[in-house]
Structure 1
Amino acid sequence: FLEIPLSSSPLDWVLDDEDVRAMMHGSNMVKVRSQRWQKSRSLRLLEDGVTVWCESTKSSRKAKAQQTFSVTEVECVREGCQSEALRRLSGSVPENQCFTVVFRGARKSLDLLCSCEEEARHWRFGMLPWLLSLTPHTWIRGYLRRADENDDGKMSYDEVKRLLQMINIDLNEQYSRSLFKKADRSCDGRLDHVEIEEFCRDMMRRPELDAVFRHYSGNGCVLSTAELRDFLGDQGEDASLIHAQSLIRTYELNDWAQKNQLMTQNGFTMYMLSLENDVFNPDHARVHQDMTRPLAHYFISSSHNTYLTKDQVTSASSAEPYIRALNQGCRCVELDCWDGDKGEPVIYHGHTLTSKVPFKEVIETIAQYAFKASPYPLILSLENHCTVEQQTVMARHLRTILGKRLLTKPLNDQPLKDLPSPEVRHTPLSPALYSPSVPRTCCISSVSHVRSVLLAQAVSSKLSPELSELVVYCRSVPFRGFQHSTQKPPDEMSSFSENDALKHIKDTGKLFVRHNSRQLSRIYPSGQRLQSSNYDPQDMWNGGCSMVALNFQTPGEQMDLNQGRFLPNGRCGYILKPSFLCSPSSNFNPEITGGGPGHIPTQLTIRIISAQQLPKINTDKPNSIVDPQVLVEIHGVAIDNSRDKTHRIDNNGFNPRWDSTLSFPLQVPELALVRFVVEDHDHKAKNDFVGQYTLPFTSLRTGYRHVHLLKADGSSLSPSTLFIHSCLLTNSVG
């Protein structure tokens, strides 16, 4: 009576939702790419509950692949005419009949026009419960439907083998037949829905998780509140009976167990897989740091060439990347401004084949999304190539579109001793922070809780007075040496190429740290990176640089590190630097960390226990099964950088188990990032990337935890996880 059947998943109550039922019934819509390109499409949510079919007349292989999408790929659904294509139709179509499906990763957004408002509402609201209720059971249901080739609701042994290949597991013939025979209670060689549930339950059993459960359970069947409390204590968490009772109420689905304040094995599994037991500290998922310090005391999430969708030579310029960056909590975006036709400035990568996007359109987009993901200051870094006349147009758009959020005067009349803090609570809403800068550079920043924007501008050519007067703080100036900068006010800001910044860190690291504790430094990629590749941001953070600008449009290890760095503090885009990076008299040297500030020798030990439901990498080969191995990397000061890996597991992406212990000595743990990487081992070529997760060492929780893996583009790889155990040993420093 303690078993929780597979059918009692959140999928069932979702099916009762009116909007979801309408999605499953299907709708005829219009797919929009431009005013001229509009095609009829039929959309329907399939019976597996996660796949949306978008009917098209195209017959190519690529087109067919694009005819379906999973709700797990959807980042959000935007109401009305918010995309570039739909904005151009604004006024000619009813906004309440339009919506945009935004996908994670590189897949293009889907702009749709419905026949009526009610239909659009069904699809907008119908997505929500599906996105919130996906579980491993929901995930496997989709594969069950696809494996049932003759669609009779039953599965033969061959169909079961097909299912196993789909979910990336290669069982030997004897074991798979024994599982099938055990589930086939009717002995007819076919599994009905009840028998399929039993088969799946056996497959999805977690022996390593069951072992943890039995270790704390006195009778091996349930956990009492006292036993659950003991487990929580060993995990380093709130070990009160009240907390244990709260977890039972939240995660225990069995009515009898919940009534008797007990946790079953199923409830324990639900809790262990939840975000409440994630390796990332949930207390850090909100703003938890002091936000009243000067801006230079923070790492600030910064984007380079934000307007580009791909490379710096031929790719498209668009307002869409600004939405993506801002929704990720980015607090410094870049705009390269040039003279455009009809007196309207445009944004693009000058003297290249990249397309152009109107300056006004980008500012309108920024105004709409600037403070949706973060209420803290947004910095608009403007690279100004415009004539005086079009600079005046830029100033007018900034004032009229951003309105009171544009900071146009100092916060007070007192001489400036420090830069303002992100938390400007007692000033009028007004966003503008930067000031005259180096040639060809103009930046606008915005201060948040007050939601202000700051402007920084270049001094190379003639400047429009209307644009110049918007510059209040952070005057961008050429760097003339550390001694020179110490005699200047803190509102001066310098930009450094990645190579110049690395030279300062290696040759005069201590002086660079002191400089960065008082003034903002912005680091940008080398001009040789024509494909919009990225440098290693960790080196720059080690030197205390606040604004480490990366190409957000280029996924990879560097963006993984950036995403991990800004994961805490509510993903607001501001991370308070360690104290040894915030003092003008600091003796911290990122190149020499055998002692002194920040030196806290710590031993991190991680046991990689198992993985769950890793995806197939080579989807073109149905018989291809992943051979996973796990790498753990430490990214920090030079002396701490290291990596280690497990052995590989052949032909099992469903539930591989390693039980490998990896240890890492750390000297400066406050700057370290921990990166988990899963690869598909290849004997003949480079290993294929499967998934990763990166977080600051200071946000990593010890004990038994699940690591929820991410794709290469930073989006969720759900339901793929790692199961680990970690512990720390800190040496006292005399």
Structure 2
Amino acid sequence: MDPKASRRHDDPHINVMMAGSTLRKIKSRSWKKPRHFRLLEDGLTIWYKSRWAGKGHSTFKAKDIEAVREGHQSEVLLSIAEEFPADLCFTLVFHGRQGNLDLVADSPEEAQAWIQGVRKLIHKAQTMDEKERLDQWVWEWFKKADKNKDGKMNFKEVTKLLKMMNVEMNEEHILHLFKMADKSESGSLEMKQFVQFYKMLTQRDEVWKVFQDYSGDGEKLMLEELESFLRIEQSEGEKGPQHAKELIDRYEPSDTAINQAAMTLDGFQMYLCSPEGSIFKPNYLELHQDMTQPLSHYFISSSHNTYLLEDQLRGPSSLEAYIKALKRGCRCVELDCWDGSDGEPIVYHGHTLTTKILFKDIITTLKEYAFKVSDFPVILSVENHCSVEQQTVMAQHLRQILGDMLLTCVLNGQIPEQLPSPQDLKGRILLKAKKIGDVEGCMDETLTEFSDEEEMTNGDSDSPTKENPSADKKPEKLSRELSDLVVYCKSVHFHGFEHARTHAKCYEISSFSESKAKRLIKEAGTDFVQQNKCQLSRIYPSGFRTDSSNYNPQEMWNVGCQIVALNFQTAGLEMDLNDGLFKQNGCCGYILKPKFMIDPNIHFSPEKPEVQQGYKPWRLSIQVISGQQLPKVNQKEGSIVDPLVRVEVYGVPKDQAKDETTHINNNGFNPVWNETLNFVIHTPELALVRFVVEDYDKASRNDFIGQFTLPFKCIQTGYRHIHLLSKDGTAIPPSSLFVNINISEFT
């Protein structure tokens, strides 16, 4: 049994979970079935099955749960609210794209035991240090391999385990390590002995070599030796000797070494695997940028068709999609609004088979979740197809539900000469839509074009669905009530850069399809950069992307477009780039653009970065040293990955580059490459670097194993670990890459 699990028995909530409960699993108003749930002895795994399922059962890990919601806090539980009181209901929300689990207990006490118990397990998973995570990971593998459940593993079970763990190793070497760990010579390993075996198995020669380079006696790093390593290799000399002492106190497991102000190999490896040893500069993860500049000076994390969970022809629309986007730091969400049959506006992808949700339910959800991750403003991008009557209903819902959150008038009563800042608009929700007249009070009632993506009416017809102007009859007028709620994001048609220079107002915003944006970038990239210094631009995917695929957002960021809307529900390279850019600055959804994209006196061309004043290219040198515990792609027991690492650079056209290592045959456990990849970065302020690990296949396309993407400016040099993410962007510990990074001026 997990040694930590026994300590959890003191907790009454955990006791209830371990004893087990029959809970109703709810999928819809008509699908409500009892399932027996219990927390297994390891204190990590929740098991459940139907009474009629025979031996069949399901399990999930506590660490895979992101949050527990109490009461009717999901669409499914809201639909059965009359049948089951709120105090019996709760929802388990999982990381990534896994669907929620809606449950109903028999009593409020039982519901609370599970709610509080699961929250404690989540907290435990979130606060584990690297050693505890590794211990847990080893324990899980031990359980998987111990087929006869006797708490021991014989040599045959151990060899099977190694195949499961993604490693092919010489059997004589395994037997040698097995015998060394089997101190009692019983022919099997108990848990403690298995931990010892695992330590020998995972001895990392590449870390040991670095340690030896700085250790005088080969046993430990004295304080001054650790200082030398931090100064010479990690470029952290400016942090001073106190920094080395803090690292020893934080990561060294041996009290004896701590008392000597020294770090052993174990402590050194724990430091290298920690957030401080990560490739991402820790201080750049925090909110650190100036948030007092106009909104147009920031890239804004933005979602397209936010209501969809899947594709845009048949997929379900869901409130959960808004919650997931907001939790990822999204600050601009989209609502496609249509007339509902009962007078209540609905949201769905018009003229398709996507399901419909009520506008007012979305607004209620936004009120609840808009500011849980970030305090900075949320923009509601409204694609409006409603009659004047239902537009007025929309306006009433916005006012009544959001109250003071909704921005309904200019700040300080001043006519704006520039947009307010994210700081000025903290906790506020802004409406982006058409407006009668302008903020200054012009009251021209006439309105011809109405669709938000209105350049479609100008012959840029790259959409078979909602953006097609002939697809539905346009309303002729706006509701005054809805129009009055538009303040700083008035949707207008784009009449060209020359017209914008002479007529545009700071609070006007134009939307562009990806194809139109690409054409403008090609024809007049510098003009696009200049316009985006004082006005917002929104880019959205082509309507032909019926599978909800995404375009590469980098091209749009290169000309300073702020609201580059992506299908958040679709995993892949494009969302990796979005997540990578917005991971910095506290994941607040706003990233300050580089100076050359906000200073009106600087004329930047992404095509010609070398003509930029102060142009200084950098050389990025990445030694890909090794990989650790890469996940399996094919779950067959005998299948082992052949990993390779590819590094991709995204940025201005001159910076687009990729290079990769060779592949390692049959080793996802501890592959070693020791290969160096070199790049030249011409515009470091815009560059993103993506590390991808793939399973090489000479006969077909390589399979994805893991990735990590970050801005070039956020890279820490020296010996660093890259903690890999899944296709969904969620962590897959303990999978990582070990690299040595050098950045120098390119001459």
Shift of 1:598: 6.9
C-alpha contact 2:618 2:684 (8 A) present in aligned 1:
yes
SS in 1 for 2:394: helix
Distance (whole Å) between structure 2 residues aligned to residue 60 and residue 564 of structure 1: 45
2:379 maps to 379
Contact 2:167-2:666 at 8 Å conserved across structures = yes
Conservation of the 8 A alpha-carbon contact between 1:169 and 1:652: yes
Judged with a 3 Å threshold, the aligned counterparts in structure 2 of structure 1 residues 542 and 442 are, in CA distance, closer, same or farther, namely: closer
**1:668 corresponds to 2:683:** yes
CA distance in 2, matches of 1:354, 1:177: 58
The equivalent residue for 2:185 is: 187
Q: Report deviation, 1:197.
A: 2.1
**Unaligned ranges ≥5, structure 1:** 1-5, 444-457
2:477 is the alignment partner of 1:482: no
Deviation at residue 112 of structure 1 after TM alignment: 1.5
Determine which of 701, 708, 711 is the counterpart of 2:726.
Answer: 711
Contact 2:2 2:43 in 1 (8 A): no
Query: Does structure 2 retain, via aligned residues, the 8 Å contact 1:337–1:386?
Result: yes
Name the structure 1 match of 2:94.
Answer: 103
Describe the SS at the equivalent of 1:188. Answer: coil
Matches within 5 A, 1:332-731: 332-424=332-424, 430-436=428-434, 439-441=450-452, 461-487=476-502, 488-597=504-613, 599-619=615-635, 621-731=636-746
Aligned-residue CA RMSD in angstroms? 2.3
Rounded to whole Å, the distance in 1 between the matches of 2:247 and 2:680 is: 34
Stretch of structure 1 that moved more, 21-30 or 555-564: 21-30
On the 8 A contact 1:505/1:590 being kept in 2, the answer is no
CA contact (8 A) 2:92 2:100 kept: yes
For the Cα contact (< 8 Å) 2:376–2:428, is it kept in 1? no
Distance 1:673 1:679 in 2: 19
- Output the CA distance in 1 between the equivalents of 2:173 and 2:12: 43
Please report the TM-score for the alignment, with normalisation by the length of structure 1. Answer: 0.92
Is the Cα contact below 8 Å between 1:75 and 1:103 reproduced in 2? Answer: yes
User: 2:113 matched to which residue of 1?
Assistant: 119
Separation (CA, whole Å) in 1 of partners of 2:10 and 2:290? 45
The answer to which of 333-342 and 166-175 deviates more is 166-175
The aligned residue for residue 214 of structure 2 is 216
CA contact (8 A) 2:434 2:450 kept: no
AA of the residue aligned to 1:529:
R
1:510–1:587 contact (8 Å) kept in structure 2: yes
CA shift, 1:172, in A, is 1.9
Letter in 2 for 1:54: Y
Which residue identity does 2:235 align to in structure 1? G
Instruction: Kindly provide the CA deviation profile for residues 452-485 of structure 1, in whole angstroms up to 9, marking residues without a partner as x.
Output: xxxxxx9963111111110111211000011111
Distance 1:563 1:57 in 2: 42
Look up the SS of the partner of 2:528 in the other structure.
helix
Taking the aligned partners of 2:317 and 2:339, their CA distance within structure 1 comes to 15
Distance in 1, matches of 2:195 and 2:384, equals: 63
Give the Cα separation in 2 of the matches to 1:502 and 1:463: 31
Contact 1:436 1:476 in 2 (8 A): yes
Aligned to 1:448: none
Q: 1:40 aligns to what?
A: 34
How many Å separate the matches in 2 of 1:413 and 1:79? 41
* Equivalent position amino acid for 1:146 in 2: K
* Residue identity opposite 1:116 in structure 2: P
CA separation of 1:203 and 1:97: change in aligned 2, threshold 3 A: farther
Name the counterpart of 1:135: 133
What do the CA deviations read for 1:620-677 (whole angstroms, capped 9, x no partner)? x210001100000000111111011111111111111111111001111111000000
| Residue 59 to residue 632, structure 1, CA distance change in 2 (3 Å) | farther
TM-superposed deviation, 1:12:
7.5
**Alignment partners' CA distance in 2, 1:211 and 1:156:** 33
Alpha-carbon offset, residue 433 of structure 1: 4.6
CA distance in 2 between counterparts of 1:236 and 1:196 reads: 38
CA contact (8 A) 1:408 1:430 kept: no
Q: For residues 529 and 561 of structure 1, what CA distance do their matches in structure 2 show?
A: 19
SS of the residue aligned with 1:243? helix
Q: Is contact 1:588–1:598 with CA below 8 Å preserved after alignment?
A: no
Partner Cα distance (2:316, 2:302) in 1: 20
Aligned to 1:452: none
SS of residue matched to 2:564:
strand
How many equivalent residue pairs?
706
Question: Structure 1 residues 346-355 or 170-179, which shifts more?
Answer: 170-179
- Which letter maps to 2:254? N
SS in 2 for 1:671: coil
Q: Could you report, residue by residue, the CA deviation over 1:169-216 in whole angstroms, capped at 9, with x for unpaired residues?
A: 111222222222222223332223332222111112211112222222
Give the match's secondary structure for 1:669: coil
2:700 is paired with a residue of what secondary structure?
coil
1:203-251 alpha-carbon deviations (Å, 9 max, x no partner): 1221111222222222222222222222222312254232222222222
Q: Please give the secondary structure, in 2, of the residue aligned with 1:632.
A: strand
Deviations 1:129-157 (A, max 9, x none): 13432612211211101211111121111
1:146 is aligned, of 138, 144, 147, to 144
Alpha-carbon distance in structure 1 between the residues aligned to 2:7 and 2:527: 61
Residues 19 and 584 of structure 1: CA distance in aligned 2, closer, same or farther (over 3 Å):
same
User: Which residues of 2 match residues 202-241 of structure 1 at below 5 A?
Assistant: 202-234=200-232, 235-237=234-236, 238-241=238-241
- The aligned counterpart of 2:71 is 80
**Which structure 2 residue ranges, 5 or more long, are not aligned?**
436-448, 455-472
Q: What secondary structure is seen at the aligned counterpart in 1 of 2:720? A: strand
